[in-house]
C-alpha cells in the first residue's frame, strides 16, 4: 500500500542493458510499494535487478518481444508497460496497446525516436524547424556538400543522443563529417539528417503528458554553449533563468510538439534552441531525462521523478508535482580524451564543495573511454542543490575543478 492508501498495480519496466536508470526506477517502485517486473535483453540484467516476475525481451525483434511481453502479462497481470530508454519506448507502446493499457500511439512513439520522421511531423504541424534534408547512402557527399547551406549540422539517423552529431562550416568539413559519421556507425550505408544550424542557447524541458495535456515538471538551462563542432552536454540547472515570457513560449511549443508527434501519455524530455529568432523545437523523447540526471530533481513532496512517472502510469494521485524550493542541477562529467581510465582523483574535495550533494564516477577504472562524437557515455555525474541557479552552477563548476582525471 502507498502512503495515501492506494494499491499500485504491477509495472513492466523495459530496461536495456546499457541503461543507467534501472536502480532509480526500482527504488521508486519500492517506495510506492508498486510491484515491478523487469524486461531486459540480457539474462544477467534480470538476475541483478529482480528476484522474480521478470522476462527476457527481444528488443531487436519487436514482434518476438511483443509475444514475450504478452506471455508474461498472462502470468503477471500488468497495470502499465514503461520503456525507460529510446530503444524500448516503441515496444512499450505496442505492448500497452495490445493489453488495453494507457499508452502513446505506437506510431507516435516511433516518431519520437526517428529523427527524420520527427522533423517531418513538426514541420507539417507548422512549427519552426530548421531547413533539413536526408543524405541517403547512395547520394554523392561532395554534391550534397556543394548544395548545403552553412553552418549546418549532420546527424546520423541510427545513433542516439549526441553521438555522431557534427557541425560543418564549409563543404570540406561537411564531407569530413559525413565520412566520420559513417565510421562511427560502422557502415557507409548510414543515412544522415542534414539541418541548418540554429544559433542560440539550449534549454531542456521535463514534462508529463496526461491525456494529451502537458504538465511541466522542470525547465533546465544549459549554461555552456552548444555551438559545435560537437554537441557534448555538460551542465543542467533548474529552475530556468530565462525571462518568464520566454519560458511560457517554450512550454507552449512543447505542448505543440507533443500534439504534432501524437504523444499523449507519460514522461517527455524535450530540447529547444532559444534565441533572437524565437523558440525552435529540436526533439522530444517519450521518456525521462537521460543518464542519472533525474537525480537532480526533487518535488515538493520529496518524490523523485521516477516516482512521479510510476504514479501516473498506475493511476495513483499526482499531488505535489511542484519542484522543491531552491535550485538544483547536474553536471555530466565530460571525457577529456580517448584512452584507458586509470584514476579520478579529487572526488572527496569535489563532494566537499558547498552545495554539492554527490559526485559519482560511472565508468569502471581500467575501461577505455571515448569522448564525443564517437563515444556514447559520460565519465560520471555531479549533483548540486542551493538557494538559486547561479549558486548551483558555481558549485558544479567548482566541484569539477577539483577532479584530476587520469587517462592513459
Classify residue 357 by burial, with Cβ atoms within 10 Å: 0-12, 13-18, 19+. Answer: middle
Does residue 187 form part of some domain?
Answer: yes
Residues 247 and 152 in one domain: no
Q: Rounded CA gap, 217 and 321, in Å?
A: 7
Residues 352 and 202: beta-carbon distance below 8 Å:
no
Mean pLDDT of 342-356: 98
Residues 113 and 85 in one domain: no
Residues 250 and 365 in one domain: no
- DSSP assigned state of 156: E
Does residue 295 form part of some domain?
Answer: no
- pLDDT tens-digit map of 180-199: 999 998 888 899 999 999 99
What separation in angstroms does the CA of 68 have from each of 74, 91, 275, 406? 10, 11, 47, 44
- pLDDT tens-digit map of 12-37: 999 988 888 989 999 999 999 999 99
Q: Rounded CA gap, 72 and 333, in Å?
A: 39
CATH code assigned at 359: 3.30.470.20
pLDDT of residue 3: 44
Residues 117 and 261 in one domain: yes
What separation in angstroms does the CA of 107 have from each of 92, 161, 207, 267? 12, 20, 20, 16
Bridge partners for 268 per DSSP: 207
CATH code assigned at 160: 3.30.1490.20
- pLDDT tens-digit map of 38-47: 998 876 555 5
Does residue 136 form part of some domain?
Answer: yes
Residues 43 and 97 in one domain: yes
Comparing CA positions, the residue from 180, 178, 176, 211 lying closest to residue 192 is 178
Task: Tell me how many domains the chain contains.
Answer: 4
Which stretches does DSSP call E strand in 41-150?
Answer: 55-56, 80-83, 132-135
Residues 76 and 111 in one domain: no
pLDDT of residue 319: 74
Question: Distance from CA of residue 267 to its chain's centroid?
Answer: 11
pLDDT of residue 4: 47
Residues 350 and 407 in one domain: yes
pLDDT of residue 46: 57
Domain ranges, residue 77:
11-104
Query: 322 falls in which pLDDT band (50, 70, 90)?
Result: confident
Residues 382 and 407 in one domain: yes
Q: Rounded CA gap, 381 and 297, in Å?
A: 14
- pLDDT tens-digit map of 132-166: 999 999 999 999 999 999 999 999 997 877 899 99
SS (H, E, C) 311-328: HHHHCCCCCCCCECCCEE
136: Cβ contacts below 8 Å, ≥ 6 apart: 191
Which stretches does DSSP call E strand in 90-137?
Answer: 132-135
pLDDT above 70: percentage of residues in the chain: 95
pLDDT of residue 117: 96
Q: Rounded CA gap, 135 and 328, in Å?
A: 40
What separation in angstroms does the CA of 23 have from each of 26, 140, 310? 5, 46, 14
Does residue 297 form part of some domain?
Answer: no
Does residue 313 form part of some domain?
Answer: no
Amino acid at each position: 500500500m502507498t502512503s495515501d492508501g492506494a494499491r499500485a498495480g504491477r509495472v513492466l519496466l523495459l530496461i536495456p542493458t546499457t541503461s543507467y536508470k534501472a536502480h532509480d526506477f526500482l527504488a521508486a517502485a519500492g517506495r510506492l510499494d508498486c510491484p515491478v517486473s523487469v524486461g531486459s535483453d540480457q539474462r544477467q540484467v534480470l538476475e541483478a535487478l529482480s528476484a522474480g516476475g521478470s522476462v527476457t525481451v527481444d528488443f531487436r525483434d519487436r514482434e518476438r518481444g511483443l509475444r514475450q511481453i504478452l506471455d508474461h502479462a498472462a502470468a503477471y497481470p500488468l497495470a502499465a508497460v514503461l520503456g525507460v530508454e529510446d530503444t524500448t519506448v516503441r515496444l512499450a507502446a505496442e505492448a500497452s496497446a495490445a493489453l488495453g493499457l494507457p499508452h502513446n500511439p505506437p506510431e507516435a512513439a516511433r516518431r519520437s525516436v526517428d529523427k527524420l520522421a520527427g522533423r517531418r511531423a513538426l514541420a507539417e504541424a507548422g512549427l519552426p524547424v530548421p531547413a533539413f534534408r536526408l543524405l541517403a547512402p547512395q547520394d554523392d557527399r561532395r554534391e550534397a556538400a556543394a548544395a548545403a547551406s552553412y553552418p549546418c549540422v549532420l546527424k546520423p539517423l541510427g545513433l542516439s543522443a549526441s553521438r555522431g552529431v557534427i557541425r560543418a562550416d564549409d563543404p570540406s568539413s561537411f564531407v569530413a563529417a559525413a565520412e566520420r559519421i559513417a565510421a562511427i556507425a560502422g557502415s557507409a550505408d548510414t543515412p544522415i539528417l542534414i539541418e541548418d544550424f540554429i544559433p542560440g542557447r539550449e534549454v531542456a524541458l521535463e514534462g508529463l503528458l496526461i491525456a494529451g495535456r502537458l504538465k511541466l515538471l522542470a525547465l533546465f538551462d544549459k549554461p555552456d554553449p552548444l555551438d559545435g563542432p560537437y554537441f557534448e552536454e555538460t551542465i543542467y540547472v533548474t529552475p530556468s533563468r530565462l525571462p518568464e515570457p520566454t519560458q511560457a513560449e517554450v512550454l507552449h511549443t512543447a505542448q505543440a510538439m507533443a500534439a504534432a508527434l501524437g504523444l499523449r501519455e507519460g514522461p517527455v524530455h524535450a530540447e529547444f534552441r532559444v534565441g533572437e529568432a524565437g523558440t525552435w523545437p529540436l526533439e522530444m523523447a517519450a521518456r525521462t531525462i537521460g543518464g542519472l540526471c533525474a537525480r537532480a530533481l526533487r518535488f515538493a513532496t520529496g518524490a523523485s521523478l521516477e516516482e512521479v512517472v510510476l504514479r501516473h502510469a498506475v493511476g495513483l494521485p499526482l499531488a505535489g508535482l511542484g519542484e522543491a524550493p531552491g535550485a538544483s542541477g547536474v553536471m555530466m562529467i565530460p571525457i577529456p580524451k580517448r584512452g584507458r581510465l586509470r584514476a579520478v582523483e579529487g572526488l572527496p574535495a569535489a563532494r566537499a564543495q558547498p552545495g554539492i550533494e554527490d559526485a559519482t564516477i560511472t565508468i569502471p577504472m581500467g575501461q577505455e573511454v571515448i569522448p564525443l562524437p564517437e563515444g556514447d557515455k559520460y565519465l560520471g555525474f555531479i549533483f548540486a542543490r542551493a538557494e538559486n541557479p547561479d549558486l548551483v552552477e558555481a558549485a558544479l563548476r567548482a566541484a569539477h575543478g577539483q577532479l584530476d582525471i587520469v587517462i592513459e
